Every structure is written in structure tokens, then in C-alpha cells.
Amino acid sequence: MADAFQPGNTAENTDPRVLRSRHMLMESLLRLLTRKEFADISIQEITDEATLNRATFYLHYPDKNALLQAMTAARFRDLIARRGLSFTDCDGALRAIALGVCDYLAETAGCPGQLAKMPLEGSIIPVVEGMFQEGAAKHTMVPGTDPKLLATTAAWAIFGAARRWYQTPDRIPAEEMAAKIEAMVKPIFLTASM
């Protein structure tokens, strides 16, 4: 079964060999992305750059997309962590998350040129979703409200808005965009929290 595959399985795999392999694959892909488009990169190239065997790749990820998603999720998580997002001050959190998404798109995906067509939604959105669910634990909701649905909806809204911003030729500053996103997305939560 393909579902038995769990590349993002961070827990219970401390074997230094697998950590090293996955890290090198991500680094390799990141380096290659500065020179070529994602679609033009073969798994052979990735493993060559990583000085690993091609078969080793398939020991960790089912395909190229899975590696991209794992890499993106890791890097985005890292960017958020570096900023020390404190979930206690809930007011700034939404804007900070929006800014994080904008910054990530601008700084990483922007490397080679315009590769906005990469399947990043599968990596960034779940992370944002998780952050909202963390934050939702601190709130009491009105009875009929599903916090997870709220988190999903907000995460997709933020990513969609940030993605449009990133694809725009003459972008406004990320901070400005984050403020706009906050203004749009905040009301989603207001209908539920009390």
C-alpha cells in the first residue's frame, strides 16, 4: 500500500544514516533548484548531487514531489521556529503566520525565477493548519463550531492569497500584504470564537 509510506515520519527514526540521507537529499534538491526548474530535475541528478545511490532515494520518498513537500515543510517550519512565533499573543499570530508564508514564498520559491507552479500547497498548508489547531486549543468556541474546519479554511485562504501576491509582477512589501491577509482572514475566526 502506498499509504503505508511515511516519509515525514519524524518520530521514532533516529538512525543517523536515514537522517543523513534525507538531509542530503533535501540539500541537494535545494541546490539544484537554484539552477534548474523543478520539472527538469531528475531523481538521478538529485542523488548524484547528494552522493547517494538512486535506489536510496526510493527508500525515503515515493517520488520527487514527496521530497519537495518534505523539504518545503521542513524549511517553512524552520523559518517559523526562527521567528519564535509565540502562540500566547493571539492577536499578532495571524499576521505573523501570513508574513511567514509570504516570506517563505518570496525567499525560497523565488530562487531561480518564477516557479510558482510547484506543488507547495501540500507542504505549507498542513503546517499552517497545525499552527491554527494549536492556537485553537486555547479558545472556547460556540457549540456548533469545528476548530479543524476553521483551521483548514484559514490555512487555504492564507496560502491562496500569499500565492497570488507572490505571482504578482510588482509586489507590495510582504508586511503590507500580511496586513491585508490578516484583515481578510480574521473575520473567519470571529464568527466562531467568543
**Chain residues in the site for DNA (CB under 7 A):** 14-18, 20-21, 42-45, 51-56, 58-60, 62-64
CB 171 within 8 A of CB 114: no
Q: Report what 58 binds from its own copies, DNA, none; CB cut-off 5-8 Å by kind.
A: DNA
Contacts of 112 (CB under 8 A, 6+ apart): 33, 34, 35, 36, 37
* Of 115, 127, 116, residue with least CA distance to 164: 116
51 vs 140 by CB, closer to DNA: 51
104 vs 165 by CB, closer to its own copies: 165
* Of 189, 94, 78, residue with least CA distance to 139: 189
Least distance to its own copies from the beta carbon of 86, Å? 26
Least distance to its own copies from the beta carbon of 188, Å? 5
Least distance to DNA from the beta carbon of 64, Å? 6
Q: Report what 82 binds from DNA, its own copies, none; CB cut-off 5-8 Å by kind.
A: none
For its own copies, the binding residues (CB under 8 A) are 119, 121, 125, 146, 148-150, 152-157, 159-161, 163-165, 180-181, 183-185, 187-188, 190-191
Nearest-angstrom CA–CA distance, 19 and 145? 40
173 φψ region: left (φ > 0), alpha (ψ -120 to 50), beta (else) = beta
Q: Report what 17 binds from its own copies, DNA, none; CB cut-off 5-8 Å by kind.
A: DNA
Least distance to DNA from the beta carbon of 115, Å? 16
Contacts of 106 (CB under 8 A, 6+ apart): 166, 171, 174
Least distance to DNA from the beta carbon of 58, Å? 4
Which residues partner with 166 through β-bridges? none
